[in-house]
Structure 1
């Protein structure tokens, strides 16, 4: 879970996935009725639930003493918290931890299954961006959705397309 990774980066104590899910299951959501964590609909398929809404990430991080704000293209002007590649690079360069919402299938090179009503790819996964190598066009991620996700290196063009599915949503530590 991306929140656990950020908690570990900021506090030096990364909770286990089981521990953070337990906290999320007992913490009220600010987005929808019930808890932050929505259990998978099918125990055999762990991705059959929505997990944690990205808008609940600051609430979950706050439980561990980590402050964060969220933004996307639709809210950046109103919140004053910029988004997009330039802002992402600035936040990382200033020492902030950043979680973004992307379409997982796009970065994994798989057929896109998660789509909106118009058939466009939909964001369905959160990852931690750990670096941007503009010279080589690579974005470095910590991705809990794949066993080889630590320092997963994605072509910048692919990342930008996958991130656009969330309107460049990000949660930035403060």
Structure 2
């Protein structure tokens, strides 16, 4: 999904921010090697992108994008919301998706927890692993992101600036 051009300025900015990435282990055809800072296949990924209509469901449309890239069939935003409202959360009591202020979500902000994206991807038969910047290894950061995209893995990345 985030197979975008990685610019030199973005490298410096992203290197200093907190980055949590769900690095999906779904394979596919080998991706082209990096040329001019482009990793993965942005044109192929773009056809599964969809605009979110709610402020708190970016994770749901990100999962839909990856599902589309891996399976060729992208669920709609509405389908993802319904699925998440009816699937138990792995991190909170209650469902994966809850509206803002719902007491079943400990953060109170609604939406979904990043870790629940792994649960949703599993629903579609897509094996995934979540990595974040606090892990003491080299599975996160721009070099890792470039490597995953070059290996044709699908990425959901959260960047807090």
- Shorter-chain TM-score bucket reads 0.5 to 0.7
TM-score by length of 1: 0.51
**Which aligned runs of 4 or more in structure 1 are off by greater than 3 angstroms?**
none
Which residue does 1:36 correspond to in 2? 96
Q: Deviations over 1:16-72 (max 9, x none)?
A: 00001111111111111111112245xxxxxx9431110111101111111110011
CA displacement, residues 69-124 of structure 1 (integer Å, 9 cap, x when unaligned): 001122354xxx71110000000000000001134xxxxxxxxxxxxxxxxxxxxx
Match of 1:12 in 2: 72
Q: What TM-score do you get using the length of structure 2 for normalisation?
A: 0.55
- Corresponding residue to 2:111 among 51, 54, 68: 51
Query: How many Å separate the matches in 2 of 1:26 and 1:76?
Result: 35
Number of aligned positions between the proteins: 96
Q: Which has the higher strand share?
A: 1
Gap regions ≥5 residues in structure 2: 1-60, 102-107
Larger RCO: 1 or 2 (CA < 8 Å, sep 6+) = 2
CA RMSD of aligned residues (A): 2.0
Partner of 2:128: 68
- Contact 1:76/1:83, CA 8 A, preserved across alignment: no
- SS for the counterpart of 1:51 is coil
CA distance in 2, matches of 1:29, 1:92: 28
| Aligned equivalent of 1:26 | 86
